Amino acid sequence: MKKKIAGIILSVLVIVVAALSVYFYQNEETHAEDYTGAPTIFIHGYKGTKNSFGYMLDRFENTYEWGNKGFIYYVTEDGNIVDYNLNKGRYAPTFVQIVLEDNRASFEDSTEWIAKVLLHLKENYRVEEVNLVGHSMGGIIAVKYTMEYAMNDYPTVNKLVAIGSPFDGIYNERYFEIHQDAAAEDLKPDSHALNMLQQNMFPADVDVYSIASTGDSVAVPESVKALRSLIPEQNFKETIIDDPQLTHSAMHESMQIDKLIHSFLWQD
């Protein structure tokens, strides 16, 4: 009987030790601040919100199981950062979503805020290199960051995806009867902000993928194609999807585009 009781006690102790080991391991991982790999940063467009890439990232994480959404960064109107670490003990934050409270700010201000977030990732989580995915104006901001910040103390860019980004501006004049703010001014054809992009040099070692749709009446393919003039030909890839139903706001909800992004970032 004594041997039986001793055996039961020993078994219980083994289970308790194993449970404590798992607990302390998970606790250590959750609070670790040393993440590895090249996270992919998602930047919404003009008037974008957390929903702009929220559903895409949910598909990436839960439908396809391509990685985990590690962080959400909110940037307030005055440029302060509020970060939410969602990593839950997993090794690397594959996806990072940035949400700008002032989603109608100029290219210059928006790019400065994106740079501030990426610098925070570098200083706090040792992120040295990133991929960038931007929708609409977010793609323009991604290119501007790569030209102006992706050097010195800021994370460098490995690959960049621009989805429905009007690099020659929005051609529809009625659009600007409704939208009148700093970002709208920058999005006008031949604006100072767009012309300044032409003056900057794009790094020769960054691969860029531009995706457009014939159903997009905001960033029409002709405007999207203007990105060609900014990127070295050997580093540039472009897909124009012939689908009249694939509108501007539907592009980040398209499973076809999900797979194009996945192929470019992690399979090419």
pLDDT digits (tens, 9 = 90+) for 233-260: 999 999 999 999 999 999 999 999 999 9
Domain containing residue 200: 35-266
Q: In angstroms, how far apart are the furthest CA atoms of the chain?
A: 90
Q: Which amino acid is at 113?
A: W
Spatial CA neighbour of 125 closest among 188, 73, 189: 73
Tokens coding 150:
């992706």
User: Do 26 and 39 belong to one domain?
Assistant: no
Sign of the CA dihedral with 192 first, then 195, 199, and 205 last: positive
pTM equals 0.85
221 or 16, higher pLDDT = 221
CATH assignment at residue 242:
3.40.50.1820
Same domain, 110 and 207: yes
Same domain, 213 and 114: yes
- Say if residue 132's pLDDT is above 50: yes
4 with 65, same domain: the answer is no
Distances (CA, A) of 41 to 12, 16, 29, 157: 46, 40, 22, 10
Residue 87 clears pLDDT 90, i.e. is over it = no
- For residues 17 and 45, membership in a common domain is answered with no
Q: Are residues 165 and 234 in the same domain?
A: yes
The pLDDT confidence band at residue 25, using thresholds 50, 70 and 90, is very low
Does residue 145 share a domain with residue 16?
A: no
pLDDT of residue 89: 57
Q: Do residues 153 and 223 both lie within one domain?
A: yes
Structure tokens, 129: 């290199």
Residues 27 and 158 in one domain: no
Q: pLDDT exceeding 90 applies to what percent of the chain?
A: 77
Q: Are residues 200 and 84 in the same domain?
A: yes
Q: How many domains does the chain have?
A: 2
Query: In angstroms, what CA-CA distances link 67 with 92, 93, 112, 213?
Result: 9, 8, 27, 27
pLDDT band at 90 (very low <50, low <70, confident <90, very high): low
Asked if 235 and 104 sit in the same domain, the reply is: yes
| Cα atoms in the 13 Å half-sphere on the side-chain side of 181 | 12
Q: Looking at residues 49-74, what average pLDDT do you find?
A: 94
Tell whether 8 and 114 lie within a shared domain.
no
With a pLDDT cut of 70, the percent of the chain lying above it is 84
Q: Which pLDDT belongs to residue 21?
A: 32
